[in-house]
A and B are shown apart, each in its own frame.
Chain A
Amino acid sequence: MANNVLINSVDHQNLKVNTEYSEKYGDNVWYALTFPAEFRSAQAYYPIFFNKDASTGQFCPVTLFGFQDKENLFLSDNKWNAPYVPMSVARQPFLIGVQKINEDGQDKEQRVLHIDLDHPRVNQETGEALFLEFGGNTAYLDTAADMLETLHHGIIDNKSFVDTLIEHDLLEPFTLDIVLNDNSNNQMVGFYTINEDKLNELDAQTLANLHNKGFLQAIYMTIASQSNIRGLMNIKNEQLGL
């Protein structure tokens, strides 16, 4: 169970966060949430698809790391073997909390940085410290805070991105055939991608609107990212010695 608390320099002066990547830290995920502002970095290494959040039924873009549950082909030797780690993974064990404050007599909600004290990364011995010896945030903590702020806006952005895609019928389900070097054939279902036929039919006005919102670029980066499936299969073949 998560034990999320507001970070403060008194109670958490000596906390450290292990920044290695490994199954024991729960990094063996086969996909993770992403968002348009991250697409440029993510599409260089991962296929970007869409799937539905099981608890809300809402679509969100995800970066794919494997072909089945608990398979992350980028994990080995306590390392993540790609130059860029998506923020929804890299943010661990931090998360955003909401704090009610009173500003000029008005109740407001403010986003604050929380940490999950029960996360296996959190310890007192190894990894990155949160606070400097005599108080003050470490660069590591400031980076984590920035990352969560970006992630927060990314999730908001996802909603209007996905709504726009659905409005124009641009999402379609697909089945991915994974044929490995031993000719074994597996299918992956449950993911959605851009319907290119529908995209090609859009009129100039709609394209201009998509462009103005920054979504046109995101759409094309999603399509381009599909070439990374080949890379994932290569790793899989290699791991299986095929």
Chain B
Amino acid sequence: MNNPIKKIVIVGGGSAGWLTAGVLAAEHITAANSSIEITLIESADVAPIGVGEGTWPSMRSTLKKMGVSETEFLLACDASFKQGSKFSHWQSNTNEHYYHPFMLPHGFNEVNLAPFWQPFRDKISFADAVCQQSHLGYQGLAPKQISTAEYAFSANYGYHLDAGKFSKFLQNHCTKNLNVKHIIDHVIQVKSDESGDIASVTTKEYGDITGDLFIDCTGSASILLAKHFKVPFISKKHILFNDSALAVHVPYENENSPIASFTCSTAQTAGWIWDIGLPSRRGVGHTYSSGHITDENAEKELREYITPAMGKQAAESVAIRKISIDPGHREKLWHKNCVAVGMAAGFIEPLEASALVLVELSAKMISEQLPKNRQTMDIIAKRFNTKFLHRWQNILDFLKLHYALSKREDSSYWFDNREENTLSDNLKEQLALWKYQFPYKYDAIHTEEMFPPASFQYILYGMGFVTEQSSNLRPTQAMEAERFFNENMARSKQLLSRSPTNRDLIAKIKKYGLPKI
């Protein structure tokens, strides 16, 4: 059992497979005396599902560590800048909206601004009062300038990207610059050794491919973790109902049409519509609960949504792709010498774009904690499972929070979403506490939480939640808070005056590229 871990086999391409390969290779193969070998087996017969077009800011450091040029990435992947999410009609279906920006509230580490903002909740939205980013959002402005170095920013950002192009780009980078071995073949069999570990996967053309660690990136097929090891699936459909999605590409009116810098999420009668702006097109989709609306009606709502942009005729004839979602995750994610990353581990509606960031976080932990030998692998596996099952719980609760706070009454979908028995105990506890206490640093129970307490604030107060105010706010803190509110306004104004539009910045990057330093 004391075998050193030298050969890592990733089964499955797509964003999950190539991101994992890239993160691992950048850390382990490029090291001068490395003896680690990474092979990625990708079937030519299986097309990647190509969803996951929004990233978190973490993608910047992930790409940077892989040695990717941001300019090349942006241009090759039809990518633009994402600064957070904009939620429309979630609260009460009265044309209202709010922002969940990537930037923390100004002065977040010094003072909790929420209690000082709340008395003014009718005059200014929480995001506008505490953060500069929603102001950029209103005008479609970019989070940086052409003179800002690659990966640096004036306002924190992630990306909107073309998932298909992204996989291709990463594949090229991994095979050309990071020495990842690429085998295009179909896995037809999995062979075990006497201990029950995977000894090899058998491919059609290349025969048996042996490995010490196997990473399952085969998407919802999950051929190693689910099919081979029979690790059960834990459905979360009773919490998050959305099990279907309809996706469509929407062209811009012309080449100068603005590119939105936030993912727009607009609530519908039994789901919500995402709207992601890439430089060359928009990616729009309706995710909904098939138990609450028929596919036909869901399609109708989607076509209505895109009608203003495309015109009635085009909106009614454009091809729509149907995707099924099985919301939930595997009972464990690392079993024996096999760990699942991406949809092979689990999948949930893209409300807060958690798919790619989970891939990044998984790849990061596998890479940084890469077991030196088979003996320690079980310990790492146990820790990995604990950490990521907690993260899944985190995501589920955070997504559910959006539904639990809604006051929409236009369909049973929204009523059902607020039913007590569809909320986890943890979420119920949080909501009970937040009635009397403003979320702040103590709401991060673990290190590296998926959603920082600031995100709870943005959603709660964006959705009109009211925390019962105690009258004993300290005057010294009130003065400090006022200073931060004023500073935020001044900085927002400054940022607005010097930030180009997303469209202009992308055009300049095409022409000049972003500086490396």
Q: Which residues of B contact A166 (CB under 8 A)?
A: 515-517
Alpha-carbon distance A219/B212, docked complex (angstroms): 51
Which chain B residues lie closer than 8 Å to A172 at the CB level? 517
**What chain B residues lie within 8 Å of A54 (beta carbons)?**
145-147
User: How far, in Å, is A33 (CB) from chain B's closest CB?
Assistant: 15
Any B CB within 8 A of the CB of A48: no
Interface residue A56 (Cβ < 8 Å from any Cβ of B): yes
Q: Max chain B CB contacts within 10 Å: which of A52, A166, A171?
A: A52
Interface residue? B508 (CB, 8 A) = yes
- Chain A positions within 8 Å of B515 at CB level: 52, 57-59, 166
A97 adjacent to chain B (CB < 8 Å): no
**How many A residues face the partner with a CB closer than 8 A?**
13
Q: Which residues of A contact B147 (CB under 8 A)?
A: 52-54, 56-57
Q: Are A173 and B508 in contact, with the CB atoms below 8 A?
A: no
A192 interface contact, C-beta 8 A = yes
C-alpha gap A16/B516 in the complex (Å): 45
The yes or no answer to B153 lying at the interface (CB within 8 A) is no
A173 touching B517, Cβ below 8 Å: yes
Q: CB of B514 within 8 A of chain A? A: yes
Is B516 in contact with A57, judged by CB distance below 8 angstroms? no
Q: Distance in Å from the Cβ of B78 to the closest Cβ of chain A?
A: 21
Nearest CB on A from B81, distance (A): 15
Cβ-defined contact, B517 with A57, below 8 A: no
Q: Is A55 part of the contact surface with B, judged by Cβ < 8 Å?
A: yes
Shortest distance between the CB of A180 and any CB in chain B (Å): 28
Q: How far is the CA of A13 from the CA of B516 in the complex (A)?
A: 49
Task: Tell me the complex Cα distance, A172–B517, Å.
Answer: 8
CB–CB B517/A171 < 8 A? yes
Those of A172-204 within 8 Å (CB) of chain B? 172-173, 192
Complex Cα spacing A52 to B147, Å: 6
Taking a contact as CB atoms closer than 8 A, the residue among A55, A173, A192 that contacts B146 in the complex is: A55
Separation of A171 and B149 alpha carbons in the complex (Å): 13
Name the residue among A56, A57, A59 with the largest chain B CB count within 10 angstroms. Answer: A57
A166 CA to B149 CA, complexed, in Å: 12
Q: Return B399 CB to nearest CB of chain A, in Å.
A: 38
Q: Which residue of B lies closest to A190 (CB)?
A: B147
Which residues of B are found within 8 Å of A56, using beta-carbon distances? 146-147, 508, 511-512
Minimum C-beta distance from A93 to chain B (A): 27
Bound-state CA distance A104–B513 (Å) is 37
Residues of chain A contacted by B411 (CB below 8 angstroms): none
B369 interfacial by beta-carbon distance below 8 Å? no
- Roughly how many angstroms separate A136 CA and B508 CA in the complex, as a whole number? 43
Chain A residues whose C-beta falls within 8 Å of the C-beta of B517 in the assembled complex: 166, 171-173, 192
B386 interfacial contact with A, CB 8 Å: no
B148 interface residue per 8 A CB criterion: yes
In the complex, the chain A residue whose C-beta lies closest to that of B500 is A55
Bound-state Cα–Cα, A57 to B512, Å = 7
Q: Mark A152-173, 1 if CB is under 8 A from B, else 0.
A: 0000000000000010000111
> Among the interface residues A55, A166, A171, which one has the most CB atoms of the partner chain B within 10 A?
A55
Determine the chain A residues whose CB is within 8 A of the CB of B148 once the complex forms.
57
Tell me the bound Cα distance from A166 to B514 in angstroms.
12
Question: Chain B's nearest CB lies how many Å from the CB of A10?
Answer: 38
Q: Which residues of B contact A55 (CB under 8 A)?
A: 146
**How distant is A172 from chain B, measured CB to nearest CB, in Å?**
7
Interface residues of B in 478-517 (CB under 8 A from A): 508, 511-517
Within 8 A of A (CB), among B140-195: 145-148
> Of A53, A57, A173, which is within 8 A of B514 by CB?
A57
Partner of B145, one of A57, A171, A173: A57
Residues of B within 8 A of A192 (CB): 517
Contacts of A53 in B (CB 8 A): 147
Which residues of the other chain, A, contact B513 by a CB distance below 8 angstroms? Answer: 57
Contacts of B514 in A (CB 8 A): 57
Residues of B contacting A171 with CB < 8 Å? Answer: 517
Question: Please, which residue of chain B has its CB at the minimum distance from the CB of A51?
Answer: B147
Chain A, 23-65, contact with B by CB distance < 8 Å: what is the 0/1 string? 0000000000000000000000000000011111111000000
Residue of A nearest to B515 (CB): A57
A59, B147: Cα distance in complex, Å: 9
Determine how close the nearest CB of chain A comes to the CB of B503; give it in whole angstroms. Answer: 16
In the bound assembly, the distance between CA atoms of A56 and B511 in angstroms comes to: 9
In the assembled complex, the CB of A171 is this many whole angstroms from the nearest CB of chain B, namely: 6
Smallest CB separation, A42 vs chain B (Å): 23
CB distance from A199 to the nearest CB of B (A): 15
Cα A192 to Cα B517 with chains together (Å)? 9
In the complex, A100→B403 CA distance in Å? 64
For residue B516, which residues in chain A have a CB less than 8 angstroms away from its CB?
166
Neighbouring B residues of A58 by C-beta, 8 Å: 512, 515
Distance of A170 from chain B, by nearest CB (Å): 10
Most buried by B among A56, A59, A171: A56
| Nearest CB on B from A198, distance (A) | 12
A2 to chain B, nearest CB (A): 22
| A171 to B507 CA separation, bound complex (whole angstroms) | 26
- B7–chain A nearest beta-carbon distance, Å: 34
- In the bound complex, CA of A53 to CA of B146 (Å): 9
Q: Closest Cβ of chain B: how far from A111's Cβ, in Å?
A: 22
A residues near B146, Cβ cutoff 8 Å:
54-57
Cα distance A61–B313 when bound, in Å? 55
> Closest 7 CB pairs between A and B?
A57-B146, A52-B147, A57-B147, A56-B512, A57-B515, A54-B147, A57-B512
Chain B interfacial positions (CB closer than 8 Å to A):
145-148, 508, 511-517
Name 23 A/B residue pairs within 8 A (Cβ), A-sorted: A52-B147, A52-B515, A54-B145, A55-B146, A56-B146, A56-B147, A56-B508, A56-B511, A56-B512, A57-B145, A57-B146, A57-B147, A57-B148, A57-B508, A57-B513, A57-B514, A57-B515, A58-B515, A166-B515, A166-B517, A171-B517, A172-B517, A192-B517
Known: A54-B147, A57-B513, A58-B512. 11 other contacts (CB 8 A): A55-B146, A56-B147, A56-B508, A57-B145, A57-B146, A57-B147, A57-B508, A166-B517, A171-B517, A172-B517, A173-B517
